[in-house]
Structure 1
């Protein structure tokens, strides 16, 4: 592994700034490209601390750029490293913070584990801050499992609890909760994709979804439905329901998803496949997957009026 993936434990703002400033200043002094993707309050703290040097750092609000943990690797990390191919990239990424909705926490941990596979051969150091005063102890324990290196009070060490990424991903491969209200259901097979699209359009329009957002929904559903009838066994099932300010779409087929990096790595330009699940990750506000030997369920949430 060339890439270095570190978890930085901090207890307060001062602790946080000392750790991130050392990382950023070291990168700028070395002439390395630097990306910081953290929640907006932390972003403001870093911007003020950097002063004029902030213009030399790419700053992203992780609550928006990483609202779906499944899009962080392809749209943030992989994109930045690829943009600066041949140079050593320094990235601060904080995907887990106090107050983040609990339902996406398992996807955040899987994301952290998959960084170690997706970017293993890339020239990059990725530092992930963890608020040990505000997060549950389980989140800190998971950080130890998903990061080969740990940083605390300025001291770096190898993680004794580091666990194989595939094992971490499998530990969060859990059945998805059932919707509180009965969903609309459509069973479909090869040749019935137009019916799938009509089914979804009717429900989405009744929910008030329009224009580009509706187009995004149709692209995501079409990709999942196409994958289901191409790679699954027998008919597939589509379920759609309202959830708060958004729609949830779920496709279940009879196949097993064995590639833990599916949807995380952009395929080669000459490839004719491999884009379906990645498009779903890029367009959706959250994506949840549960796979068994006999079935795979992919569920995504999309806010009716934009970012959830």
Structure 2
């Protein structure tokens, strides 16, 4: 969609603000993000900046003495798995309930894999559900020189407002979050070789033992093996409880990662399931899915007519940074 499709009207939600910053070059990045952050600080708003580490130093330098009032996070660490970014943003906003919160989140950068970009796009759409009618401003920078045109096009679909060249416009390409999430449910590429195991109620301990045995020669260290077994245990438990009483586990190696996939006949009734830390005494659903997102380096979710697929990736080698 061309710049000519942008209009000057403001988004319909007067409380929630979710602009995408389209930029080229470091100076434009620092100008756009710096202006957004300074406006929040001048208004007395709490500010969180979560961007990839190479951007953190230049931003601190541009903000000067005011940088001390900002919470900074490395998005490559916090958002290694895009499925856990939203929980971190919500927790920051929930800690500051007396006024407007201001956040910068850059979930997509040129080094992201296609699978990560797709899940980050899903995350961007879900922001619009999670913060609807809340006094929160979230700026998301997009490098138009380094990202594929389709990624920038999707930014127009997931953000009600666009910022480019110092101008603020409403995106007529904005699309309902549920539709964007459905569009993200593309067919997953199938591995050439994998091991599989069907399971039903009463067999979950045996499933965990079967998986742990196969992971012993995978190259994962003991801690990461434990985390993947725990994540799969949560996924298979959900299959038994909510996915028709059972399902199928598949395991294989892919590049520098081990992948475990759980398939069942369930449905994802709540698009935000697993995107918020559940309280200890909360009856809110999504506890298992939230834990899966926290444990894994990437979680691909596919909610189709024939059931639910959770594809969980765990990197081999030095432990990937986690939030």
Tell me, yes or no, whether TM beats 0.5. Answer: yes
Q: Once structures 1 and 2 are overlaid, which stretch shifts more, 267-276 or 136-145?
A: 267-276
Q: CA separation in 1, counterparts of 2:66 and 2:20?
A: 24
Measured against aligned partners, the alpha-carbon deviations of 1:253-304 in whole angstroms (never above 9, x if no partner) come to: 1122232112113335433442011111111111111122221111010123
Instruction: Spell out, residue by residue over 1:189-226, the C-alpha distance to the aligned partner (whole angstroms, 9 max, x if none).
Output: 00101111101111222224344323322221111000
- Matching of residues 138-287 of structure 1 within 5 Å: 138-180=150-192, 182-272=193-283, 273-287=285-299
- Name the count of aligned residue pairs: 306
2:126 is paired with a residue whose SS is helix
Instruction: With the length of structure 1 as denominator, give the TM-score of the two structures.
Output: 0.94
Q: TM (normalized to structure 2)? A: 0.90
C-alpha distance in 1 between matches for 2:276 and 2:168: 29
Q: Is the 8 A contact 1:81 1:122 kept in 2?
A: no
Partner residue, 1:91: 103
Alpha-carbon distance, 1:34 to partner: 0.7
| Residues 204/87 of structure 1: CA separation in 2 closer, same or farther (3 Å cut) | farther
The answer to whether residue 307 in structure 2 is matched with residue 295 in structure 1 is: yes
CA-atom RMSD, angstroms?
1.6
Task: Answer with 272-281 or 123-132: which moved more.
Answer: 272-281
**Partners of 2:236 and 2:246 within 8 A in 1:** no
Aligned positions of 1:43-122 closer than 5 A: 43-74=56-87, 76-122=88-134
**Counterpart check, 1:20 vs 2:7:** no
Task: Please report how far the alpha carbon of residue 122 of structure 1 lies from its aligned counterpart in structure 2 after TM superposition.
Answer: 2.6
Q: Are 2:110 and 2:147, in contact at CA under 8 Å, matched by a contact in 1?
A: yes
Shift of 1:52: 2.9
Q: 1:139 to 1:195 in 2, by over 3 A?
A: same
Structure 2: state its 5+ residue gaps. 1-12
- 3-state DSSP of counterpart to 2:132: coil
